[in-house]
Amino acid sequence: MKVYNTLSRTKEEFQPLEEGKVKMYVCGPTVYNFIHIGNARPMIVFDTVRRYMEYKGYEVNFVSNFTDVDDKIIKKAVEEGVDSREISSRYIEECKKDMAAMNVKPATLHPLATQEIGGMLEMISTLIEKGFAYAVKDGTVYFRTRKFEEYGKLSHKNLDDLQAGHREIKVTGEEKEDALDFVLWKPKKEGEPYWESPWCQGRPGWHIECSVMAKKYLGEEIDIHAGGEDLIFPHHENEIAQSEACNGKIFSKYWLHNGFLNIDNRKMSKSLGNFFTVREISETYDLQVLRFFMLSAHYRSPLNFSADLMEAAKNGLERIVNAAENLRHLKKNARSASMTEEEREIWKGSDVFVEKFEAAMDDDFNTADAIACVFELVKYSNTRVNEESSAELSERLGGRLQQLCDILGILLEQKEDILDEEIERLIAERQAARKDRNFARADEIREILLNKGIVLEDTREGVKWKRA
Ligand code: AMP
Ligand code: ZN
């Protein structure tokens, strides 16, 4: 399996640190609003990377954080006159609903930055002890960028060019030793959330969060670190500097970055009025269509979002879903059970689509070519299976189609498959579990329903549910 590594700017053979295991960290969203369709891209593509690795037999430990302390969250909390924790927990819940509807598997763990402050204080202290960081009078702690000799190795930037860029920027009243130094810890401002620290009451810089969460939950050396390409610099460059200076080890072996999503060939932005949340898109389309659309391009290419392209994705997905439905129908109504000699040949003839699918995915997760293989399998099945075919052939080809779609995270069964009575029964079981203070089971039931596209809402009048 070859993966493109931003560090080396080449496709490299994937070799995990430990055989059969993959330790993967994906930078998650800052939770101050509903996620937008740009945020959905890394979620979908790296979930697909994970699914493919699992298909290949790796045990994947997949950690993805929520940044739940940040200027934007604080600003929103002030606007609404609520505590910033209320904002972050609200949008974490909403984000999880969108993820479920896009069939993005929950991470092995979703750590929250605010729960990891202790680890951050520790890492910052180590960096100070090792001479890689320093505190100034007001309690701000900076990373001493030039001391980390390999700074720039990920973004392929040269320190002197960076310095030249900084000359224009007026450094105001700071006691920074160097314009390139970045913040690890900063003093609180009036009304902001803060934590005690040896330097001042304050809060962490953004970059230190990920270094600490990756170390705590995956270790000092990980296999894959991923995120959108805007994170290469400065976020990931700074993460490398912090982690490698602190731990004295190579932080991540492979760095994967997705290209950006544009709208009608322009950058998505609120001021241009071309900004969509995933929730808005879900009013028009099943989010499976959004997932299918995202995977129809290579993850490193820029991707243009438009109404026409979404319609094309919808039609394409329908063709696949219909083929799967048709195979189920033919299997149920087949007149014979086992395959004939001729059908064995047909079955064998479909091996090639799996081989091509794997070859595409082995080549840096080329989902666009992998989807083309799925379409070929659909065409192959449509033209070779009919009312005369055995149940076994329909079942096998249907299973094969299902297997390939599972890797892409594309659902072939209609979500409505769960009946109202079953939903009501699970809700009653969840209520009973809560009464018994068995919150693990209660959460599990919520998750089961979410995976079937059923969203629960706890209201004063009781639990309400709807199909997402
Ligand atoms: P943020 O909440 O801004 O930290 O973003 C969360 C994730 O979404 C990061 O991996 C970003 O790189 C990614 N991201 C943000 N905007 C876009 C976009 N327009 N296209 C693709 N990825 C994006
Ligand atoms: Zn990060």
Tens digit of each residue's pLDDT (9 = 90 or more) over 269-320: 878 878 899 999 999 999 999 999 999 999 999 999 999 999 999 999 999 9
CA of residue 64 to ligand 2 center, whole Å: 9
Mean pLDDT of the 241-251 span: 98
> From atom 4 of ligand 1, which residue's Cα is the shortest distance away?
29
Averaged pLDDT of the chain: 94
The whole-number pLDDT of residue 434 equals 92
Q: Where are the beta strands (DSSP E) in 138-238?
A: 141-143, 182-187, 202-204, 222-228
Environment class of 195 (CB within 10 Å of its CB; exposed 0-12, middle 13-18, buried 19+): middle
The whole-number pLDDT of residue 468 equals 72
Q: Is 202 in the pocket of ligand 1 (CB under 6 A)?
A: no
Q: Is 261 in the pocket of ligand 1 (CB under 6 A)?
A: yes
CA of residue 76 to ligand 1 center, whole Å: 19
Position in ligand 1 atom list of the atom nearest CA 228: 12
Distance between start and end Cα atoms, the chain: 36
Q: Is 93 in the pocket of ligand 1 (CB under 6 A)?
A: no
The whole-number pLDDT of residue 20 equals 98
- Pocket probe for ligand 1: among 33, 41, 276, the residue whose CB has the most ligand atoms within 8 Å is 41
Mean pLDDT of the 202-216 span: 97
pLDDT over threshold 60, residue 170? no
Q: Specify the pTM.
A: 0.88
- DSSP character at residue 147: G
pLDDT digits (tens, 9 = 90+) for 83-125: 999 999 999 999 999 999 999 999 999 999 999 999 999 999 9
pLDDT category at 126 given cuts 50, 70, 90 is very high
CA-closest candidate to residue 406, choices 54, 87, 130, 98 = 54
Residue pair 281/288 in contact by the 8 Å Cβ criterion? no
The answer to which of 159-163, 238-242, 312-316 has the lowest mean pLDDT is 159-163
Position in ligand 1 atom list of the atom nearest CA 229: 12
Beta pairing, strands 141-143 & 133-135: antiparallel
Q: How far apart are CA 10 and CA 23, in angstroms?
A: 21
pLDDT digits (tens, 9 = 90+) for 325-361: 999 999 999 999 999 999 999 999 999 999 999 999 9
In the sheet that holds 303-305, the strands lie side by side as 266-267, 261-263, 303-305
